[in-house]
Each structure stands twice: as C-alpha cells, then as structure tokens.
A and B are shown apart, each in its own frame.
Chain A
Amino acid sequence: MSASGFATRLVALTRKETRQMLRDRSNLVVGLVLPVVLILLFGYGLSFDVKDARVTVVLEDSSPTARNVVAGLRGSPYIAPTWASSMAEAERMIRAGQTDAILRVPGDFSRRLAAGDGQLQLLLNGVDSNTAAAIEGYVGGSLALPGQQQVDRGGNKPAAAANITIVQRMWFNEASESTWYLVPGLIVLVMTLIGAFLTSLLVAREWERGTLESLFVTPVRPLELVLAKLAPYIVIGAIDLIMCLLAAKYLFQVPMRGSLWIIIVSSLLYLLVSLGLGLFISATTRNQFAASQMALLASFMPAMMLSGFVFDLRNMPVVIQVISQVLPATHFMGLIKTLFMAGDYWPDILRNCAILALYATVLIALSRRSLAKKLD
C-alpha cells in the first residue's frame, strides 16, 4: 500500500471521527463544558485556606489582662471570634457544629500569668483535622503576648533574651495560596478526563454496534484507526488546555514561571498518554460500561488522589509512593507544578517528558495491537 493510500484513509477516518464527536452532544458537554465547570470549581470553590474560622471564647477570667490577651483574636484575618458565657454552652455549640474551636480563659488566668505560668485551653473539633490544625496555628499567632505589649509601651528593648527567631521564606508560593497549586493540577485532571474517559467509549462503542467488523474488511490498517481516533480529541484537549492556561493566568493570577511552550508540549505529551490509555482500555474491554469504569479507576481517580494533586506524595507510605510513581499522572503533576510555580528546571523537564513520551508510545502501540483486525 502506498503512502498516499495511508494518507487518504487517515484523513477519511479522522473526518469520520470528528463528525461523530461533533454530532454527539454528550461528548461535547464532557469535553468542553465540564472542563469549564471544573476550572471554576477548582479556582473558586475549592480552598484549603481557612478564613473566618469560628472560635468561641469562654472568658472565665474577666480581668483586663485576660481581655487584652484575647483581643488579639479580633485582629486576625483568619478568625471570627464569638463569645459564650459558659463552657457548657460552648461545648454544646461545638457538638451542634456551630463552632470549630473553643478558647477557654480559666478563672485564675491572670493570677497565674503574673506568676509566669499563664495557661489557655484550646478545644478543637478534630473532625476536620486540617481546619483544626490551621486554627491552632492562627490562634497561637494572634494572641497578644503580654510581654511584647509591655515592651512596646515602654519603648525599650527587652532585656537581652537569647532566642532563635525564624526567618522564613516560602519559595514559589509566597502568599501560600492553595489556588496556585490547585489550578496547575487541574490541567492534569482535565487532560486525564478528556483522554481517558472520552476515548474509553470510542472503540468499545464500535465493538458493541458492530461497525468494526465492516471496517476491518477494508484496506484500513490498525494504526490508521488509532491515529484517527486520537486526532479529534487532541484538538479538544488542546482547546481545554488553552482554556485552563487562560483561566490560570487571567482569572486566578497563578504565576507561570516556566516557559509557555514547555508547558504546552508537556501537556500535549500527557494528553497523548491518557488518550492512549483510554483507547487501550476501550479496545480491550469491548464494552462501554466496563470501559468507562476501568478508565475512571485506572486514570481519573488515581490522578486525583495519588498523583500529588492535593495530597503530597512525600507524606505517603513507601508502597503508595511506589504505586504513584507508576502512574503517568504523577510525573506530569510534578512537572506542571514546577513549571508553573518554580520555572524551567531542566533535569525535571527532561526526565518527566521522557517518561511521558515512553508511556505514550507504549500505550499507543498497545492500542494498535489490540485493534488487530481479529474477531476472536
């Protein structure tokens, strides 16, 4: 068969796949609308940054000192303090889910403080452990330390105190905003979604409807089938990528410190990986239901939970880390976050892109093989 036969068939098949994709509205809804919904949800809806945490203060010591100490809470942008008259009431509030934490100032607080041993009790609802930990930090930071106040009033430096102070710098995400790492991660999710989920139905549908049997007995080659199925979804993926990038830059002001072209190239590489995975699953299961479930389980759920998207890989047990290293999503997730927030770090780029390219080649080769023109 000549090269021109290959080209003609590829163009014809690609045209067919494109038409089918465009005519099925549900495809477009998942391919184009869902990413927009996700962008908005991730950008605006999801936030790990605790704001206005509800801390109920139980002031059993009404001395000015005690009042002064807790007054600092009001100054904190993260805390919205409320007041309760008794511990019993506050505990009821915590049980009813009306408050997240209780700060108890014991009756002997000011007396013991004077004696150099002031103690406050912080009672947290640990169900939302993340918020609880954050509240603990904020409360500690916002309480006005009597020592410092005295210093300020006196205008004098305190008596020499040997002390370690922390000079902290948060690289890449100075303001410590979770949006900054959620949005790049979103690109991974969207690419996975387009790739694996949409394509997982493609071949399975043709098996179920019997269209492959007719197609097989033509000069068509398996590779042409694979490439034609990929093509329209690469376009959809590219559109989604552009939407994500625009949203990241203009809507959420996430910095883009790496080169744009590397971001695009690596994203497209990953898109190929997930398209290949979806196609492979589709061609082997030959059943739409099983294929879509497999695709979800094999690509989407791990990409969301185990790729380092929200849960830092470094916190996971070794076994899970090993599993996560097998996932292509993990490699792309690391790379895209670095590219966005840290910049071009070449060893990372080269290694991860090589891994992605390898995955893409293997998966597409496997899809080609599973589309060998055989019915048994």
Chain B
Amino acid sequence: MSDQDLTVSVENLRKTFKGPDGGEVAAIDGISMSVRAGELTALVGPDGAGKTTLMRMMAGLLKPDAGSLSVLGIDVAADPQSVQDRISYMPQRFGLYEDLSVQENLDLYADLHGVPEGERKQRFTRMLEMTDMARFTERPAGKLSGGMKQKLGLACTLVRSPDLLLLDEPSVGVDPLSRRDLWTIVQQLIDDEKLSVIVSTAYMDEAERCAQVFVMNKGKLLAEGAPDELKKRARGLTFTATTPDGMPARELQARLIDAPDFIVDAVPKGGNVSFIRQQDADEARIGELLRDAESEPRDEELEDAFMMMLRQHEAQDGEAAAKPATDKAAPEPRRNEDKPVIVVRDLVRKFGDFTAVASTSFDVAQGEIFGLLGPNGAGKTTTFRMLCGLLPATSGHLEVAGLNLRNARAEARGRIGYVSQKFALYGNLSVRENMEFFGGAYGLRGKALRKRVSASIEQFNLDPAAQSGILPAGYKQRLAMATGLLHEPDILFLDEPTSGIDPLARRAFWRTITSLAMSGVTIIITTHFMEEAEYCDRIAIQDAGEMLALGTPREVRKQAGDAGTDMNSAFIAIVEQGRAARDNKAKDKERAA
C-alpha cells in the first residue's frame, strides 16, 4: 500500500508508564496496525485497553518508548508539529473554555487552525446548524448541557476539514439524542469530504458503523476487521429467551449471567433476554437454566462478538470482575407495592427564571428499580439533588422514607446512599481509607466498620491499598458503589453510575443492582445507556424539566409507537414528540399573543 492509502501505520509500538508501585506498566504493549485513509475506523476495548494512550501518541502528545508510528506519512515522534498542523483531535474531555461563549470558542479554534475568513462563515453556519446550536452562540460554554458541550467540542475540532480526525470516546456521558447528532455530523463529513476518522468508543452500535474495527485489551490488539467479519465469531451462538409472563426480564437475565460456564453474556432486551451461549456448553444444561423460558436463535451483533472476545481474554488472565452480592442477599423479595418509599408531587425547581424541574410527580415502591432517563440537562440531577436534600425545592411535595431530607434530622440521611455523577470520592486517599471515612461518616465504627469494609472490598474485588484517584473508570465506579452501600441503605440513588465504563464492568454492576433490589433495597438510577433501562421495573423520561413518560419499559416502548422496537429509539421518539408538542404550544401562545 502506498502512503496515500494509509493514514496511520503502527509497528510494534510500546508505551509504558510508571505504575503506582513504582513498576512499569505497559499501556501499549507491542501493537502493529494500519489504518486506511478515507474511512471510519473504530478502536474498541474495555478500560485500560490503551485506546487513549494510542490516540495521544497519534496526536504527538506522547512519545512512544519503542516501535514506529507514522501519521499521514510523517514520523510523529520526530516531528509532532507537522502532524498537529494537519490533524484534528478531540480528547475524551474536550477542553472548551467554559467562560467563553460558543461563538468565541469556535472563533478561537478557527484562528488557530488558520481558517480563512471567507470559508469561515459558511463552515460555522453549517456546524451550528448541524449541532443545532445556532440559537446559543452567545451562551458561555460552561452553561451548556453535557451533550451540547460535546457537540461544541466536535464543532471546534471540525472548524476546518482535517486530513485525519481523532475522536477519543466522543459519546461518553452523552444522551442518545446528542449521540445521534454527533454521529450525523461525523457521517456527513465523511460523505462530503472523504474524511479519515479514528474513533474510540465503548458503544458497539457506534463501532458497527465503522469500516474497520480494532479490538484492544490491556495494551494488546485482540482482533481487527470489518464489523461483519468480526461478528461472525458469534454466529450460531446467539439466542433470545422469552421471559414467562409476570417475571421481570432481569430475573431470567441474572440466572443466565450467573452461569458463566454455559453462558457468555446475557442482557435484558425488549422485555426478553438476549444471550450468548458458550460454544462447548451442554445443550441440556442450558435448557435447565432456561427452565420454562422459550429460546430461539437471533442474528449476531458486533456486541456479541466483542463480549466473547473480552470474556475469553479475561478468562486467560484469570481476572474476575465484581462478584455480585447474591450470596448473602435474601432470595425472598421484600417488595411492598402499597407503601411507596418515595413520593414526589408537583415538584418544581427554578434557578432564576430558568425552570430546571417542572411539576414532576412519581412514586417509587420499596424494592423497585426506578430509572430516570432524559437528555443531558433534562433536570435528572436536579431532581436527585432535591430528593437527597442537597437542594431545596421551589415548590411541591417530596418524601423519602416518609421524610423531606432537607429538613429531616441528620440520622434520616443514614437510610439513603448516594452515588453522584462524577467520581466523588477522595482521589488521593486509598480505597480502604475512602471506605473507612464514609463508613465512619455514616456512624459505623470499630469492629463493625472494619468488618463491613473488608466484606465490601472482597465483594467488589477491590485492591484496598490502591490510590482511588488513579483507578480505571470501572474500578472507580465499583469503589463508589461499595462506598455508597457500606451503611446498607434502604434507598440507593445512582446518578449515571455507568457513564464511561466498559460493557464487562456494566454487566457486573447491574448484577449487583438487581440482587440489591431482590433484597428489598429501593434503587433510583439515571443512565444514558438506554438498553440499561431494560433492567428497571419502571422508568420515567424527563426532558426540559418535564415528565414525558412514566411506566414499565414495555409501556414506555408502547407509548413510543412504531419507533419503540428498542429502548434507544423509543427514547428518542418520546423526547422528540415531547419537544414538538412544546414547540407547538409555544407557537400557539405566540399566535394568541
């Protein structure tokens, strides 16, 4: 192949960092790969696979320790500036200047990339239109919602048409609508400008759009190829099990995923359970597991192949994820539908003249998993903060375990657990120290505290001496969960707990949640992974502070109508219907006035 066809060529690349114990940790461990020009290429892999390190090396921000890396035919290590002059790079956390307005951020990057005045206008108009941000050009970037920030970040990277575009997990923490918008922009640019794009992602539906997929794990390349080719690895092993009436899909899912010898992976989907069986698993044993659930084959997806590869690699390494808390949990569900533990009536929260939460009402029963979904900035976090007593409500009634936590005695807070959106533990303390502190803050002490901490460390498979701040995302999330559960709360609030963590860790996480719910803990959770809504007993969809849908996943899918085949499209449909209705109402009002 000539240089013309290859944007990136990597040969035996190695990069090591100093580990916390002073030893060397190989982030990239002898990778060789070639990326073709004019195509969309995906890097997929769990936390710590080395995706970000590889991206940064391509962008000339890190120097390889060994091997060669050439981007656009240039040796990056020798001449990073020439590469940086020609590529665009969007890091995981795009560095928007939050005190500058949308327009000012765009201008800055246009100037830095030397976009001529003439082209600029047209480009900006197109970018603003594609990102749907033309209305907000004067707004400071810091006041945008997470999804908008990400779109603006992409717009800033794309102020000119680069020879290569690097996107490092562009959709982490972004809601389905913004995610769809992001991809529309990228796709259009690929179609119009023959852009070469390398994207790292944890979403398999995103990887499926790519021409070429590289699967990485622990600094090594596991597989490469077109999605269709990779998918084949799971051919014939994928099935759907129909859950018997009256049984939540997650119960069947839990049973299946707890049998790793026969089942590679199982997730609830559309009220049923999708699973992958082990190649050499005994047919009869699977039948036993399924009991009275019917199963039939389904088409394999990239995610299936990916999960298989990861599980295999993991089995070789002999590493276990968090153990679900099933062993100790009472098998008998303690659900009490009649007496809701959380009551929200006409809850309103305003910041100045901005309404963050508008007249919201819902109940959550004991032992229920209640999902609060909505685009970035829909008011989910505000609702959470009010429920936890961190923020006073402007008006309305709310009750958590019969109390309003804002004015309740401090001990009442001991009954709830709260895991906030971003990792909110002390980064420079060790895992054990963090847990001991929060345990202590919840009134545990002495032997009882030590016992709880040791048990949790074991249950979540954590390294007690590790420094919390430098743990991989999945481990941070486990630590946050472990900490939130130390005092065995009756009610658990989880704000986007799975954002930015890989599929394996997410499976383990949900296994813990489902078994907690079984033991009677009430769980309220927000997430941007719509397929995760399938684990919930009931979900609510919020947008612009208003409640658009409330019910079981099945009911919500039904509300979405034709679009409701899977949760992701159901969600998008409902939010868009809601927005259209709101726009109409606004127009009516204008007309009336």
> Is chain B in direct contact with chain A in the complex (CB below 8 A)?
yes
Complex: A13 Cα to B104 Cα, angstroms: 11
CA A24 to CA B91, docked complex, whole Å: 25
- In this complex, the interface size class of chain B, counting residues with CB under 8 Å from chain A, is 35 or more
A112: Cβ under 8 A from any B Cβ: no
Would you call A153 an interface residue if the criterion is a C-beta within 8 Å of the partner chain's C-beta atoms?
no
* Partner of B95 from A12, A20, A211 at Cβ < 8 Å: A211
Is A376 interfacial (CB-CB < 8 Å)?
yes
Hey, what's the 0/1 contact readout for B61-102 against A, CB within 8 Å counting as 1? 111000000000000000011001101111101111111100
Contact between chains at B61 and A218 (CB < 8 Å): no
Cβ contacts under 8 Å, B153 to chain A: 214
CA distance A374 to B62 in the complex (A): 6
**Bound: A13/B114 CA distance, A:** 12
Across the interface, which residues of B come within 8 angstroms of A19, CB to CB? 99-100, 104
- The docked-state distance in angstroms from the alpha carbon of A213 to that of B157 is 12
Across the interface, do A374 and B61 meet the contact criterion of CB distance under 8 Å? yes
Tell whether A210 pairs with B95 under 8 Å between CB atoms, given A9-B111, A9-B114, A220-B112. Answer: yes
The answer to whether A8 touches B111, judged by C-beta atoms less than 8 angstroms apart, is yes
CB–CB B60/A20 < 8 A: no
Residue of A nearest to B100 (CB): A19
Cβ < 8 Å to B, chain A residues 1-42: 1, 5, 8-9, 11-13, 15-16, 19-20, 23-24
Say whether A16 contacts B95, CB under 8 Å: no
Chain A, Cβ-Cβ closest to B56: A375
CB 8 Å contact bits of B30-69 with A (1 = contact, 0 = none): 0000000000000000000000000010011111000000
Given A12-B112, A20-B97, A373-B61, verify A214-B107 contact (CB < 8 Å): no
Of B63, B91, B97, B107, the contact of A213 (CB 8 Å cutoff): B91
Cβ-defined contact, A16 with B62, below 8 A: no
Selected from B85, B89, B99, B111, the residue in CB contact (under 8 A) with A214 is B89
Q: Does residue A314 face the partner (Cβ distance < 8 Å to B)?
A: no
Interface SS of chain B:
mixed
Task: Decide: A217 and B95 in contact? CB cutoff 8 A.
Answer: no
Minimum C-beta distance from A116 to chain B (A): 77
Q: Are A16 and B113 in contact (CB under 8 A)?
A: no
Q: Which residues of B contact A219 (CB under 8 A)?
A: 81, 84-85, 112-114
CA distance in complex: A279, B114 (Å): 26
Q: Given that A12-B107, A214-B156 are contacting pairs, would A23 and B99 also be in contact in the complex, using a CB cutoff of 8 Å?
A: yes
A207 to chain B: closest residue by CB: B95
Are A217 and B60 interface neighbours, CB within 8 A? yes
A215 to B59, CA, bound (A): 11
For B91, the closest partner residue in chain A by CB is A213
Q: Which residues in A have their C-beta under 8 angstroms from that of B89?
A: 214, 217
Interface of chain A: mostly helix, strand, loop or mixed: helix
Contacts A13-B112, A221-B81 given; indicate if A216 touches B61 (C-beta within 8 A): yes
> Is the Cβ of B85 less than 8 Å from the Cβ of A213?
no
State which of A12, A210, A218 has its C-beta within 8 Å of the C-beta of B84: A218
A269 CA / B29 CA spacing, docked (Å): 50
The answer on a CB contact under 8 Å between B111 and A20 is: no
Residues of B with C-beta under 8 A to A217: 59-61, 84, 87-89, 166
Contacts of B104 in A (CB 8 A): 16, 19
Contacts of B108 in A (CB 8 A): 12-13, 15-16
| Most B Cβ at <10 Å: residue of A16, A218, A373 | A218
B109 close to chain A: CB less than 8 A: yes
C-alpha spacing A9/B114, complex, angstroms: 8
Residues of B within 8 A of A5 (CB): 114
Give the distance to chain B from A24, nearest Cβ to Cβ, in Å: 7
Interchain CB contact under 8 A, B88 and A16: no
Cβ B112 vs Cβ A375 within 8 A: no
Point out the residues of chain B lying under 8 angstroms from A375, CB to CB: 56, 61-62
Q: Does A209 contact B (CB under 8 A)?
A: yes
Which partner residue on chain B sits nearest A5 by CB separation?
B114
Q: Given A214-B90, A217-B84, A374-B62, A16 and B114 touching (CB < 8 A)?
A: no
Are B112 and A9 neighbours in the complex by a CB distance under 8 Å?
yes
| Chain A contacts with B in 243-279, Cβ cutoff 8 A | none
Residues from chain A with a CB closer than 8 A to the CB of B157 are 214
B84 touching A373, Cβ below 8 Å = yes
B80 & A373 in contact (Cβ 8 Å cutoff): yes
CB neighbours of A206 from chain B (8 A)? 95
Residue contact A213 to B95, C-beta cutoff 8 Å: yes
Q: CA A279 – CA B80 in complex, angstroms?
A: 24
Bound together, the chains give a CA A373 to CA B62 distance in angstroms of 9
Q: Which residues of B are found within 8 Å of A15, using beta-carbon distances?
A: 108
Q: How far is the CA of A209 from the CA of B149 in the complex (A)?
A: 14
When A219-B84, A375-B56 are in contact, do A8 and B114 touch as well, CB less than 8 Å?
Answer: yes
Give the distance to chain A from B100, nearest Cβ to Cβ, in Å: 6
From B62, B63, B108, B112, residue with most partner A Cβ within 10 Å: B112
* Listed residue (B97, B104, B157) with the most chain A CB atoms within 10 angstroms of its CB: B97
Q: Separation in Å of the A28 CB from the closest CB of chain B?
A: 13
Chain A residues, CB < 8 A from B85: 1, 219
Bound CA–CA A42/B529 (angstroms): 61
Write 14 A-B pairs (CB below 8 A) sorted by A numbering.
A13-B108, A19-B100, A20-B99, A210-B91, A210-B93, A211-B97, A212-B95, A213-B93, A214-B94, A217-B61, A217-B88, A218-B109, A219-B84, A220-B112
* A residues adjacent to B (C-beta < 8 A): 1, 5, 8-9, 11-13, 15-16, 19-20, 23-24, 206, 209-221, 373-376
Interface residues of B, Cβ cutoff 8 Å to A: 17, 56, 59-63, 80-81, 84-85, 87-91, 93-100, 104, 107-109, 111-114, 153, 156-157, 166
Q: 6 new A-B pairs (CB below 8 Å) besides A213-B91, A218-B112?
A: A209-B95, A209-B98, A214-B96, A217-B87, A373-B61, A373-B80
